[in-house]
A and B are shown apart, each in its own frame.
Chain A
Amino acid sequence: MEKLISRAPAVKIQQLRKTYENDTVLAIKGLDLTVGSGELLALIGPDGAGKTSLFRILATLILPDGGQVEVLGYDVVKDFQSLRLITGYMPGRFALYQDLTVLENLSFFATVFNTSIEANYDIIRDIYVQLEPFKHRRASQLSGGMKQKLALCCTLVHKPSILLLDEPTTGVDPVSRQEFWDILDKLKADGMTMIVSTPYMDEARRCDRIAMMNRGELLDISTPEALIDGFGKPLYAIQSDRMFALLQDLRKYPVTDTCFAFGEAHHVTFKKSIQVDDLRGYLQMQGHHHVDIAQIQPTVEDCFMDQLAS
């Protein structure tokens, strides 16, 4: 992975600041970030972390208040016109013409970039074949997944060199999400640089690196493997017959460090190494039955929660 980043960076952000409403709301404070050429970077973080602001600055839609942002060697403030020709930005909400058909939307966005669907057919072919049966249907009548595929198709139709995708799969069913990411994998294989924000950790796991943001700051950036390796303490998944009481009892346990409800089990870390049997004894004393304690591999989400907690 190091060799990817050592190549000429596609995005170079230094000390980026962005505020809203006359400096009262701080969206991004002093962000430094470098994205390698051909890299697929996941951007994760809670609501209000500054992800969308970052995307809008990279897409030249809003101006930064401080710092330097270079995309593919172009400055986002001075060279915004050249940059728009080679950037593909897909906003978080569906922003195509609902009253135009699939084909009309596509040819509109091709034409405003002075190109045509035919000229760049090779890059959109994989998505377009899925859309083709509905090409005369209006965008408003497409399913959520199809809408996102159309939006990606429109974003790609001018053959950009970098893709900025702001939560492209939010609210999309799992099958369509899977298909969408298969498309991104293919684009990556073709050498496309991509920055994708996502609320789904399984998607972040598929990226080269994961950048965690919170309150306008970069918490951490590393490969998914390094992120998980860096977790650095044993993680336990614990279940019993009374899950809610279990959460409270675990949090009361003196050596418990963090404890989060996590699907079927609670994920728990401890301040020092523990004896599983001691813990089991404690929980049975609290009246829990069928206590199941297992040490597990941390996931990206565990790392994220851990980072947020610290």
Chain B
Amino acid sequence: MSTFKYVLQKEFQQIRRNPTIVRMMLAVPIIQLIVLPFAADYEIKQLNLAVVDQDHSSYSRELIGQMTASGYFQLANYSSNFNEAMGAVERNEADLILEIPAHFERDLVREDGATLALHANAINQVKGGLSQLYAGQIIRRFNNQIRSEWVQWPRYSPVEMVKIEPQLWFNPHINYHLFMVPGILAVLITMVGSFLASMNIVQEKEAGTIEQINVTPIKKYQFLLGKMIPFWVMGMFSLTLGLVIAYVVYGIVSVGPLWVIYAFSAFYLAAILGIGLLISTFADNQQQATFVSFFFVMIFILMSGLYTPVESMPDWAKVIAYANPVTYMIQVVRGVMIKGAGFMDILPFVGIIGAFGIFFNALAVWRYRKTV
């Protein structure tokens, strides 16, 4: 036991002596959590609206007024020519075109109905979809308002009886940070686990020290655990730092109990360290380890539902997403922090991650025996 304690002590000492790792340990969570959610904000404010007004009536002016007063839109271009509005979209000056045809007011009054057209720039599909949605809501309200104005006597209910009132649960203000920060927390500890651990073992290979270690009676499991435990601790530290930043910078307080996140992370980090270990058995130098880790972490993150929901992926991609431990980590962190999931709710995920952990670690240890 004292041997193992000393092995651990040596690993911690080496990490402490490596200023890059120590600095990165602090810088990575801070930068990722502060810069990323602010920069990659999905919240749609100040959409640029181009209006093609071929009617120039009081109703058209009223509608435009309501659009710009909503706070979602600002008038970027006003013309009576569709091509000009389209030009504004092409120059990236407008996100949405509202086309009001000629005789809009006349048709509305005489024929009890008129047509409007909305053209959204869907290069950024989220932005395009949201701008359509917001504009649709404003137009519907405008529609109801003029209908009620016309009603002289209540022969029938003047306004629509069935009304949809959207209720956004758990994240009522569609706060993007609330969605993104827990996801980034998950990515964070994934990186600590896979990159640092694999690099560390490969470093011993590069320096030749592994040869010296192998001729000692030290057990493989002692050596490997000695490598994994410090990074497990560092992963937990990063998680804690991330939670503090989430609270201090974004005011995000976990709805569910924090210990559930920690309990899950304990298993999750063990699985991720297994992947790191596995990579280190294949790589001969740090360059190879970095490349392979980068490749996997990249795929894991993109296929994890951090940016796009797993449910909307095609079937083949879902298979990858569900074979990806990061997916579960993100679901658990979001579930606990936003929805208030308890331990019993995430228990199936613990089982899945536990299986991942056993699989990767067993494979890595088997490979390690074979190669070294």
User: A251 to nearest B CB, angstroms?
Assistant: 42
Whether the pair A81, B217 counts as a contact (CB closer than 8 A) is: yes
| CB of B18 closer than 8 Å to a CB of A | yes
Residues of B close to A60: CB separation below 8 A: 215
The residues in B between 1 and 54 inclusive whose CB is less than 8 angstroms from any CB of A are 2-3, 6-7, 10, 13-14, 17-18
The chain A residue sitting closest to B14, CB to CB, is A99
Check if A114 is an interface residue, CB within 8 A of chain B: yes
Pair A84/B215 contact, Cβ less than 8 Å: yes
Given contacts A108-B10, A114-B3, contact A99 B17 (CB under 8 A): yes
A154 to B214, CA, bound (A): 14
**Please, which residues of chain B bring their CB within 8 A of the CB of A107?**
6
CB pair A61–B217 under 8 Å, yes or no, is no
A100 in contact (CB, < 8 A): yes
Tell me, yes or no, whether A309 is within 8 Å of chain B by CB: no
Which residues of A are found within 8 Å of B10, using beta-carbon distances?
97, 100, 104, 108
- Of B209, B216, B218, the most chain A CB neighbours within 10 A belong to B216
Question: Is B154 in the interface zone, CB < 8 Å from A?
Answer: no
Q: Contact at A100–B215, with CB atoms within 8 Å?
A: no
How many angstroms between the C-alpha atoms of A61 and B214 in the bound complex? 7
A245 to chain B, nearest CB (A): 45
**B90 in contact (CB, < 8 A):** no
Whether B217 lies near A95 (C-beta < 8 A) is no
Residues of A within 8 A of B217 (CB): 81, 84-85, 112-114
Question: Which residues of chain A are within 8 angstroms of B124 by Cβ–Cβ distance?
Answer: none
Give residues 204-245 of B contacting A (CB, 8 Å). 207-209, 211-218
User: Does B18 lie within 8 Å of A95, measured CB to CB?
Assistant: no
Q: Chain B residues near A186: list those with CB within 8 A.
A: none
A53 at the interface (CB under 8 A from B): no
A94 at the interface (CB under 8 A from B): yes
Contact at B14–A100, with CB atoms within 8 Å?
yes
Asked whether, in the complex, the Cβ of A91 is within 8 Å of the Cβ of B14, the reply is no
Select from chain B the residue with minimum beta-carbon distance to A84. Answer: B217
Q: Report the minimal beta-carbon distance from B204 to chain A, rounded to whole angstroms.
A: 9
Set of chain A residues within 8 Å of B212, measured between Cβ atoms:
89, 91, 95-96, 109, 154
Nearest-CB distance from A204 to chain B (Å)? 25
A89 to B209, CA, bound (A): 12
**What's the Cα separation between A100 and B215 when bound, in Å?**
19
Q: Select A97's contact among B2, B6, B14, B214, beta carbons within 8 Å.
A: B14
Q: Is A59 an interface residue (CB 8 A)?
A: yes
Whether A87 sits at the interface, judged by CB under 8 Å, is: yes
What interface size band does chain A fall in?
Answer: 20 to 34
The answer to whether A108 touches B209 (Cβ under 8 A) is no
Residue of B whose beta carbon sits closest to that of A90:
B212
Cα distance, A104 to B215, chains bound together (Å): 18
B208, A108: Cβ atoms under 8 Å?
no
**A87 and B18 contact, Cβ closer than 8 Å, known pairs A94-B208, A100-B10, A112-B6:** no
The reply to whether A104 and B2 form a contact with Cβ atoms under 8 Å apart is: no
Convert A82-125 into 0s and 1s, putting 1 for each residue whose CB lies closer than 8 angstroms to a CB of B.
Answer: 00110101010111111110001001110111100000000000
| Chain A residue, CB-CB nearest to B222 | A112
- Least Cβ distance of A86 to chain B in Å? 10
Question: Across the interface, do A112 and B209 meet the contact criterion of CB distance under 8 Å?
Answer: no
CA distance A87 to B212 in the complex (A): 12
Chain B 181-214 interface mask (CB, 8 Å, partner A; 1/0) = 0000000000000000000000000011101111
Of all chain B residues, the one with the shortest Cβ separation from A107 is B6
Separation in Å of the A160 CB from the closest CB of chain B? 10
Please state if A97 and B215 are interface contacts (CB–CB under 8 Å): no
On chain B, the residues within 8 Å of A98 by CB distance are 207
The answer for the CA separation of A59 and B217 in the assembled complex, in Å, is 12
What residues on A are CB-neighbors of B14 within 8 Å? 97, 99-100
Tell me if A112 and B215 are in contact (CB < 8 A). no
Q: Is the CB of B3 within 8 A of A93?
A: no
CA distance in complex: A107, B7 (Å): 11
CA distance A85 to B216 in the complex (A): 7
Residues in A with CB closer than 8 Å to B209 are: 95-97
Q: Which residues of A contact B215 (CB under 8 A)?
A: 59-61, 84, 87, 89
Partner of A108, one of B2, B6, B18, B211: B6
Contact of A112 (CB < 8 Å), options: B13, B207, B208, B218: B218
Least Cβ distance of B302 to chain A in Å? Answer: 35
In Å, the complex CA distance between A91 and B210 comes to 11
**Contacts of A3-60 to chain B: CB distance below 8 A:** 59-60
Cβ contact within 8 Å between B216 and A61: no
Contacts of A114 in B (CB 8 A): 3, 217
28 contacts between A and B (CB under 8 A): A60-B215, A61-B211, A61-B215, A81-B217, A89-B215, A93-B208, A94-B208, A95-B211, A95-B212, A96-B209, A96-B212, A97-B10, A97-B209, A99-B18, A100-B13, A104-B10, A107-B6, A108-B6, A108-B7, A108-B10, A109-B216, A111-B2, A111-B3, A112-B7, A112-B216, A112-B218, A114-B3, A154-B212
Q: Which 3 A-B pairs have the closest CB atoms?
A: A95-B208, A111-B6, A95-B212
B residues adjacent to A (C-beta < 8 A): 2-3, 6-7, 10, 13-14, 17-18, 207-209, 211-218
Residues of A within 8 A of B (CB): 59-61, 81, 84-85, 87, 89, 91, 93-100, 104, 107-109, 111-114, 154
Having A93-B208, A94-B208, A113-B216, one finds 12 other A-B pairs with CB under 8 Å, namely: A61-B215, A84-B215, A89-B215, A96-B212, A97-B10, A97-B207, A99-B17, A99-B18, A100-B10, A100-B13, A104-B13, A154-B212
